[in-house]
Structure 1
Amino acid sequence: MARAFILIEGNSGGNGLRYVQAAKRLGLHPITLSNDPAQYDYLAAERSEAIHVDTDNVDALIRECSRLRAAYGIAGISGFARVDESCYATVGKLCRHFNLPGPNPESVEQCCDKFTQRQILAEAGVPMPAFRLAANAKAVECAAAEIGLPVILKPAVGSGSVGVRLCRNVDELDEHTTYLLGGKHIWRSSPRILVEEFAQGPFYCASTMENYVIAIAAAELCPPPHFVFREFTHPAPLTEDQYKRIVDVSMSCLQALGLGWGPANIDLLWTKRGPVVIEVNPRLAGAPDPQLIQLAYGVDLITEHVKLVIGDKCDLRKKHSHAAASRSLIPDRDGTLDRIEGGSQAAAVSGVAEVKFYVEPKTPIVRKGDYRDFLGRIIAASPSLAQTEAVLQQAVDLIHWSITPFPTSGE
């Protein structure tokens, strides 16, 4: 009987499936523990075992893992964020309880709180935007006045750009504060808002494993006020000096936050004063970044992470140097999706690695200004950046969709 590889929750963006497949390739038996296993359709497609457990309850997870250890033996434990990233701290606690390799739960917890993270990085001298913490509308107003408009408001705990918005004037500040504190935003803990200086410049994402920067991607976002990622490119077009400075800042973040085990990813802007850290995430970057890294460099970060989790040595050596890029398909209006087509034609373009649609026709489209807005994505790779960009654009041009606006109250 293969040893169990436990996954706390799943991930429908692509990484969840790849973790299950990687575990199987390594001779393991993946088992997903979830509040709602049915939400991860790849589990049924892969015939991968799943068990209903309250994953917000550490004691319940310990009981279930103890039962599985008696039945299978446990090779390792990992997992995914659902609403916030507290799941990674839970994984660390389980690994510690069962004496398995895993992240330091205290390090993960302090990293998941954006304000605490910023305090620690500031003490370590890491360059960041100015920031304040606010728990009510008056405190938000005072913090914005101290920093100076425009500012970014974001929940102190959360992921996927949910609840994040640029506020360019007092009216927008009041509007978004009301949204966050008025019951529309779902808080899993006491409401706490991070008020942040609006730093500007090219956006980069550094992916790390252990104490190494594996790759740096260039990222393109949709226009403000929201922060929705439109495109990622590996490798980022950086000078040797820029690359070195981003690596140095990234290493400073890992050291300050105690994130020397396993994967992490760091969001940065290149501003007039050089690299400025926007956020450190104590986990592997979400899809499609691991897939892009594999296409660009031949490094399968998901498989290598699974090896770390089960106590094996990982191989992070780059096998080749290609260019890989992804483009998200993002709607420009709310309404009912009438059609989305051209996927098979786009997939047939030489150099296209993936075309994926997330929604079906007749789906209501209500834009939220975060990762949930995506209709799909396209990934392309080739030996050169120029060729990859041309292939990606050719494929994107073959995708067409139409959205009928919702009827207005007078219709």
Structure 2
Amino acid sequence: MTEPTEPTGPTEPHDPVGEAAGPRRHVVFVTWKAGNAPAFEAAKRLGHHVTLVRSLLMEQSQNIDFTTSPYARFVDDVHVLKDATDADALRARVLEIHRERPVDGFVATVDALVVPVAWIAEEIGVPFTDARAAEAAKQKNRCREILAAAGIDSTRHAVVTDFEEAAAFAASTGYPVVVKPARGSGSEGVHVVADEDRLREVLGQVAADGSHQAGVLVEEYLSGRFVSAELGLARGRFLRLAVSERSTWHRHEALETGTTIPAGISAADHDRVMEFAEAVVGAVGLGLGVFHVEIMLGDDGTPRLIELNPRLMGSCLPNLFRLAGGADIFDLLVRIHLNEEIERGPTAFDRYATVRWFGAADTAPNPGRVPDLAWAAAEYGDHLHALTVRFPEGDMLRPCRGNLGNFGEVQVVHPDRAESIRIAEEIVARTARRLGIEVTG
């Protein structure tokens, strides 16, 4: 792929896809995710002018070919930056865009871009998620300090510089403890540590590879049911979108292997989770947006924060939301970021949508060639929505210990929760047998 140095656009003439009546406003998306094409379509369907700012380095590092995405017919102007996380380069390009056509709303769905976009939006006076609050959300120890001061969550934690400090913290709380980057996402670099020997090993790895540049956060281990709350916030009003249940891998508990929407929890637990998530977002002061709040629901019904993400839920989860009967979350995302008044009650789901991701459990030869997957559709019919396997380049598969290490994904939808989960896990297991390797799903 060649690297454009100037904006490319406008694109080929687009199909208006039934543009809505009303004022034509300018929506700027800043992302490297080709999977956000439905958001571009939603903005176009609502009748708006759509500008996309891409990030070439991140696309290349994640093996994304934006040119094969169906986004083009929904985008009016495209700007390609070498690295959109370069705050100065991003600011310069957005200011140029704003001079040519004033921006009415920004959408950023990638962790690394929410904060820089927030600062730019504040500078030019466009409503967006509060920049200081977004920074606090991503700086995990700062987020915990805010919640403790507000009396919302008292999970014990400490930022440490070496093994001795980490061991002293663990001695005060007891093992296991959780070790993670003070700033990060995607379960990358997160470890559940069972004893002092393993703690020494993990801290040694961190020191050697420099992976926790923002600091090493050690936290009290939380047990219970791992769920997430998906919340919208528009003009001071919370919109309860979904509570999802999350699965993790038994060999590396910090690795998420999938999600089911909606979660199989009681109405009372659902309300407790949502009330807690609203309190978290309110205390941090995010102000506007769609947020993904990861929570541990204790056996006693007490919610505790795992992580606050000032962005829409990632990966294929917006699609799961739709498959479960929640309608188009991208339409809502665009409207919220245009600061519209939105009237919406809680989501009423009529199906359960499950995803399972999988990668290599251990170092293994790269099969290279994707096996025939037609058997799955033939056997599971309409319950199987998608099954994809895409191997990275190289002769060997590295052990998957974070979301970026997955090479496979299955999506299933079913009116019964247990069947939705069972079918997804069965397909993963059968795919692994055909590959001849153990996987993480």
Same fold, TM exceeding 0.5? yes
Amino acid at match of 2:321: I
Instruction: Give the SS at the match of 1:381.
Output: strand
Amino acid at match of 1:100: V
Measure the CA separation in 1 of the matches of 2:365 and 2:283.
Answer: 47
Whether the 8 Å CA contact 1:335–1:403 is kept in 2: the answer is: no
* Alpha-carbon displacement from aligned partner over 1:319-353 (angstroms, at most 9, x marks no partner): 65221111112322212221442433324522222
Is 1:343 aligned to residue 373 of structure 2?
yes
Offset at 1:371? 0.6
Offset at 1:313? 4.2
Amino acid at match of 2:52: I
Measure the CA separation in 1 of the matches of 2:46 and 2:395.
Answer: 38
1:187-226 counterparts in 2 under 5 A?
187=212, 189=213, 191-210=214-233, 211-226=238-253
Is 1:32 aligned to residue 61 of structure 2?
no
Whether the 8 Å CA contact 2:109–2:312 is kept in 1: the answer is: no
Aligned length: 397
Q: TM-score, normalised by structure 2?
A: 0.82
Whether the 8 Å CA contact 2:58–2:83 is kept in 1: the answer is: no
Amino acid at match of 2:164: K
* 1:408 alignment counterpart: none
Moved more, 266-275 or 101-110: 266-275
Measure the CA separation in 1 of the matches of 2:157 and 2:393.
Answer: 42
Distance 1:350 1:393, change over 3 A: farther
Amino acid at match of 1:17: A
Instruction: Give the SS at the match of 1:213.
Output: strand
* 2:138 alignment counterpart: 112
Instruction: Give the SS at the match of 1:217.
Output: strand
Q: TM-score, normalised by structure 1?
A: 0.87
Match of 1:249 among 276, 297, 310: 276
Match of 2:317 among 267, 289, 304: 289
Offset at 1:43? 4.3
Instruction: Give the SS at the match of 2:33.
Output: coil
1:87-98 counterparts in 2 under 5 A?
87-98=113-124
1:336-375 counterparts in 2 under 5 A?
336-338=365-367, 339-348=369-378, 349-359=381-391, 364-375=396-407
Whether the 8 Å CA contact 2:144–2:155 is kept in 1: the answer is: no
Amino acid at match of 1:307: R
Distance 1:362 1:343, change over 3 A: farther
Instruction: Give the SS at the match of 1:284.
Output: coil
Whether the 8 Å CA contact 2:400–2:406 is kept in 1: the answer is: no
Offset at 1:50? 3.6
Distance 1:239 1:352, change over 3 A: same
Whether the 8 Å CA contact 1:334–1:403 is kept in 2: the answer is: no
Offset at 1:264? 1.0
Measure the CA separation in 2 of the matches of 1:174 and 1:161.
Answer: 20
Measure the CA separation in 2 of the matches of 1:389 and 1:149.
Answer: 31
Match of 2:420 among 384, 388, 393: 388
Structure 1 segments of 4+ aligned residues over 6 angstroms from their partners: none
Whether the 8 Å CA contact 1:337–1:403 is kept in 2: the answer is: no
1:1-400 counterparts in 2 under 5 A?
5-11=27-33, 14=35, 16-27=36-47, 28-36=49-57, 39=60, 40-46=64-70, 47=72, 49-81=78-110, 85-182=111-208, 184-187=209-212, 189=213, 191-210=214-233, 211-273=238-300, 274-314=302-342, 316-317=344-345, 318=347, 320-338=349-367, 339-348=369-378, 349-359=381-391, 364-393=396-425, 395-396=427-428, 399-400=431-432
Measure the CA separation in 1 of the matches of 2:342 and 2:390.
Answer: 32
Instruction: Give the SS at the match of 1:367.
Output: coil
Amino acid at match of 1:296: A
Offset at 1:44? 4.7
Offset at 1:235? 1.6
Whether the 8 Å CA contact 1:34–1:53 is kept in 2: the answer is: yes
Measure the CA separation in 1 of the matches of 2:241 and 2:215.
Answer: 33
Offset at 1:158? 0.6
Moved more, 321-330 or 344-353: 344-353
Whether the 8 Å CA contact 2:136–2:142 is kept in 1: the answer is: yes
Distance 1:387 1:404, change over 3 A: closer
Q: Which runs of 5+ in 1 are unaligned?
A: 406-411
Offset at 1:87? 2.1
* Overall identity of the aligned pairs, in %: 21
Whether the 8 Å CA contact 2:352–2:414 is kept in 1: the answer is: yes
Measure the CA separation in 2 of the matches of 1:56 and 1:287.
Answer: 19
